[in-house]
Amino acid sequence: MSDQAPPRVLVFDSGIGGLSVAACIHRYLPGVDLVYLADNAGFPYGDKPETVVIDRCCTLIARALEQYPCDVIVVACNTASTVVLPHLRAMTSVPVVGVVPAIKPAAAKTRNRRIGLLATPATVRRPYLDRLIEEFAGDCRVERIGHPGLVRWAEDLVSGGVVPADELTDAIKAFHEARVDTVVLGCTHYPLLLESLKKSLPLVRFWMDSGEAIARRVAWLLEQTDQFAGAGRPVTEPVHSPVSAALFSGSAPEGIARFMSELGLSVQLVRGFWPAEPTEAGSA
């Protein structure tokens, strides 16, 4: 791979949640060049109509591909993935990977057949989720919480915000009452809140997210196109920043480069990306 450009993967989310997925991809595929694209001007998607989410995702991703040709697109947002995947696949020949709440692995893990599903208000309402539960966890009690506050608390971490512990415990008390032993993090923002969630629900044994499964799927797709990027190889001497560009449809969040570094995702360039010309640029 020395004199060859590394494979490039576009990771998309409404905000910073997709960074939890990008971090898994980087750990699994350290040779991959990541481009991160966040529709933070449209955040949160959890309260948006489907048509708005579809339109915003397709427009932004199409524009990003013009400037940053990619080998794989990852829609690192459960809320968007429930509606946008067929539209993206009709729009581009680049393989598209979506995120599905980890109901199936959760059903394999739970000991007491009680699962908590934590997602955005939109995701918990979508019929697609009913089908997923019916197919893979039909014999489990699945308690759903679609709370609007959690994604905001995760976003606030970038500027040094602290998760409000009492409000969080209150938001997820239905899981405590249902005595779930397994919780599915059905929104990519939530792995960023994991330490706080564990404190609020100390009896939960298994916390499931989709990051590793996505990373494995990306590796498989890259292998199909001979773009294999060293899956599982330890990062010894990174020759480049894992993220060549972080693109934001609104203003880039204050402190984003530092926050990304803490996740192991140092970034070369942070810039605005919507609607036509960059609204903000700067080296990170």
Residue ranges in 218-247 that form contacts with ligand DGL under rule CB under 6 A = none
Stretch touching ligand DGL by CB under 6 A, among 10-18, 102-110, 171-179, 251-259? 10-18
Binding marks (x or -) toward ligand DGL, 74..93, rule CB under 6 A? ---xxx--------------
Residue ranges in 14-43 that form contacts with ligand DGL under rule CB under 6 A = 14-15, 17, 43
In contact, 210 and 234? CB cutoff 8 Å: no
Residue 77: active-site member: yes
- CA–CA separation, 216 and 43 (whole Å): 27
Q: Of residues 30, 44, 95, 272, which one binds ligand DGL by CB under 6 A?
A: 44
132 contacts ligand DGL (rule: CB under 6 A)? no
State how far Cα 65 lies from the chain centre. 19
Q: Which is nearer to ligand DGL, 57 or 107 (CB)?
A: 57
Cα angle value 91/93/97 (rounded, 5°) = 90
Nearest alpha carbon to residue 32 among 265, 266, 228: 228
Residue 251 sits at φ, ψ, to 5 deg, of -70, 140
- CA–CA separation, 73 and 91 (whole Å): 12
CB atoms within 10 A of CB 226: 7
Minimum distance from CB of 187 to ligand DGL (Å)? 4
Residue 24: active-site member: no
Q: Which is nearer to ligand DGL, 57 or 151 (CB)?
A: 151
Residues that bind ligand DGL (CB under 6 A): 13-15, 17, 43-46, 77-79, 120, 123, 151, 187-189
Catalytic residue numbers read 77, 187
